[in-house]
Chains A and B, each alone.
Chain A
Amino acid sequence: MDFSQSDKDLWKQIYHTKDLLHCFNCSTCLSGCPASHGDPPLLVRNLARMVVYGLEEDLLNDDTPWACVSCSRCEEMCPMDVKPFEMILAIRRWQTSNDETRVPTAIVEIYKRGYTQSVGTNTELRASLGLPELQTITKMPEMLKLYQEMLMKTPVVSENDYMFNEE
């Protein structure tokens, strides 16, 4: 580990909670974590260390926070109330705000049609199952416009607005 580039106050930018400093490396957050089986593995304990030590470069380039499946086992089991899942989200946020290539493509989908999937367009299948037509936001252009207007006022969308502009 190269400590020469360590930024002691980085944790305040990324995950400003004193609970993080109580992490004592016990590794409870790793047992039961599905993504700890990945290649490379998601090692929550190591990420907590990296944040505390302020290893900015390493953290910016680390893809593993994005492998988390949000099962919140770590959140439940951590004896020091670090809230490791919240920390994972916090690292993703910090990465995204420092590196536009991290902006999840899913949010562009959601901005355009309200959903990650094409909801409500399978009308034939739905009808064959005896289902009503869905009042999706995609079918309510005025509503969708308001939703987009609202999102335009939030940091990730306003700062990366070129990604969201139509065509």
Chain B
Amino acid sequence: MELCLFLGCNTPAIRPDVERAIRATMPELGVDLADAEGYVCCPAFGSFPSTDDDSYLASSGWNLSIAEAKGLDIMVQCGSCYSSLRMGRDHLAHDEEKLARVNELIELTGRKLECKTKVRHVSEILYNEVGPEKIAKTIKKNLNGLHGVIQYPCHTLFPSEIVGFEESPREPKALRILTEAMGATVDHYSRELQCCGGAGGFSKSSPAEATEFTKTKLDAIIEETKADFIVVSCITCLMYLDNIQKKLNEAEGTDKYHIPVFDYNQLLALCMGFDPKQVASICTVPRNKVIDRITAG
């Protein structure tokens, strides 16, 4: 199958090794990726969705119509991009007036939006289209003997009616099963469904409280599991959970927080034998231990 890759802002700008991992792994699994030339910000919830419908949905329409012109569905990794595009699409698909207005606004591009293009999350594609069996068969190395914990991206769970793909949003399992497919043992912990806390204004307007909030999650992982790494599938979860551990160590004068964080596709790329320097090189918490285990295995 072929999908239109929507990269958003943070991945290509700050963590392009994740982009590399996605571009490397998906075609190996039969998912070819086309670029969305001339795309714009999703738009992020703190931008146009917070100002008015016109600018919000026009930006959604701009992006959706790029993929629609190619006759392709969109694939996204970033949780916010996924949710913003998918909610924008939902508004447009159920409101003829809004859709007509957006078509008026994007007319100058020569494109037209019919809302045929669907917005899909990379973890959903991996789970539903590729499937754990194919992943297990394709990888050359594995995560045998390693323990992982999962951070599910909120934006792929709620509101389940619009963005969801799990059988039960209260008991998501796609990322767990996908991680187990590579041989890892996935440990559960009490705060598994707690938000990472990284998106939006919270961490900026209440930095101390936000750090404390995420600390409870990391403490639960440390106390309740044997986690060698955290698996995410959202660029915000990745950057936030990775960067905050150093801050916590500095604030508390410890080195207690040192759990490496990987995007799912990064682990997949490592298990497929891609060069760690290309697919998993940008991080705050060192990843060497896990990477060495995989490459040696």
**Which residues of A line the B interface, CB within 8 A?**
32, 34-35, 37-39, 42, 63, 66-73, 75-76, 83, 85, 89, 92-93, 96-97, 103-104, 106-107, 110, 114-122, 125-126, 129-131, 134-137, 140, 143, 146-147, 149-151, 153-157
Contacts and interface: CB of A to CB of B under 8 A. Distances in A.
B53 to A, nearest CB: 8
10 closest pairs, A vs B, by CB?
A: A69-B200, A38-B206, A71-B154, A154-B55, A135-B37, A117-B13, A76-B158, A72-B158, A156-B51, A154-B54
A125 B128 CA distance: 33
A140 B62 CA distance: 15
A146 B169 CA distance: 40
A150 B62 contact: yes
Contacts of A110: 40-41, 43, 47-48, 59
A26 B209 CA distance: 24
Contacts of B279: 129
23 contacts: A32-B194, A34-B202, A34-B213, A37-B213, A69-B200, A70-B200, A71-B155, A71-B199, A72-B83, A92-B51, A93-B52, A116-B44, A119-B12, A119-B13, A122-B13, A129-B277, A129-B279, A131-B20, A136-B38, A140-B37, A147-B62, A150-B105, A150-B108
B40 A97 contact: no
A67 B41 contact: no
Contacts of A129: 16-17, 19-20, 277-279, 281
Given A34-B195, A93-B52, A76 B159 contact: yes
Nearest to B198: A69
Nearest to B205: A67
Interface string B219-235: 00000000000000000
Give chain B's interface secondary structure class.
Answer: helix
A134 B12 contact: yes
A119 B199 contact: no
A47 B63 CA distance: 32
B39 A137 contact: yes
Contact of B155 (A70, A118, A134, A155): A70
Interface of B: 7, 9-10, 12-14, 16-17, 19-20, 23, 35, 37-41, 43-55, 58-59, 62, 80, 83, 105-106, 108-109, 154-155, 157-160, 163, 169, 194-195, 197-202, 205-206, 208-210, 212-213, 275, 277-279, 281
Contacts of A149: 108
Given A92-B50, A126-B16, A35 B55 contact: no
A19 to B, nearest CB: 13
Nearest to A153: B105
Contacts of A93: 50-53
A36 to B, nearest CB: 9
A119 B39 CA distance: 11
B4 to A, nearest CB: 13
Given A96-B51, A130-B20, A140-B37, 7 more contacts: A35-B206, A37-B210, A66-B46, A66-B50, A67-B200, A67-B205, A106-B46
A137 B55 contact: no
Contacts of B199: 69-71
Contacts of A35: 200-202, 206
A151 B57 CA distance: 11
Contacts of A150: 58, 62, 105-106, 108-109
B157 to A, nearest CB: 7
Contacts of A92: 50-51
A130 B22 CA distance: 12
Given A66-B46, A89-B49, A115 B40 contact: yes
Nearest to A159: B52
Given A71-B195, A76-B160, A155 B83 contact: no
Contact of A38 (B47, B108, B202): B202
A146 B108 contact: yes
